[in-house]
Copies of this chain bind each other. A is one copy, B any other.
């Protein structure tokens, strides 16, 4: 092969590795005290210069402010390279009076603060619930190992909840800020992340509560995202050389009905964990 004069980039598991002396990216994590925020702090503190934004004072250093208050959160965005926006009312049962300030107004404020502050990348925690009706309509057959159906980013919006609606709003808002306001953004439709990493949990979202215990185990076998894989997915989304991407995130599970193709192809994400068969 003819040499181009360009050095081969150092690679590790498919990722380009920054030179050892490159400054770490300064990354602001909203909702840093939550389930996913905790995984980010646990697994990515060595790789990025992490800053936290939380609504309440916490046991670690944090800019304390409500994302529903733009003026109050703006100072936290100064000098930031990337924002990981996790703060949200995160239940499919969340009522409108929580969805509106936390997910609609709060998400607008985070993107607006990022744009005003010259932040170049926002990683937005979206959700599989933007197409939750595809799961509800097809459960439990969809969970079978032999079921061939896979939903990807091209599936039409079918939110199962006001929560799902709010995440579609956030994706549309992200697209606008990319196209018209100079940001780059990655929207992650995140699977089932558990604070205790339990891939055998019987917890399911409210619209699926009629599932039997066996069906619930089948579900999480397909939707589980380990805390470690979740943190790796977010790291990939911070570093990916894309202007815009939407991708699902699950571990390397035996059954997968949300496509990992986008995460692999656009973000270079390769999960290391797998739900039990």
Residues of A at the B interface (CB closer than 8 Å) are 96, 100, 104-105, 108, 112, 130, 133, 154, 156-162, 164-165, 168-169, 171-173, 175-176, 179-180, 207
Contacts and interface: CB of A to CB of B under 8 A. Distances in A.
B175 A159 contact: yes
Nearest to A179: B133
Indicate how many identical chains form the complex. 2
Contact of A171 (B154, B157, B171, B176): B157
Contact of A165 (B156, B161, B169, B207): B169
Given A96-B108, A105-B100, A133-B179, A168 B162 contact: no
Contacts of A180: 133, 160-161, 207
A207 B35 CA distance: 41
A157 B179 contact: no
Nearest to A96: B108
A172 B160 CA distance: 10
Contacts of A158: 175, 179
A161 B133 contact: no
A185 to B, nearest CB: 13
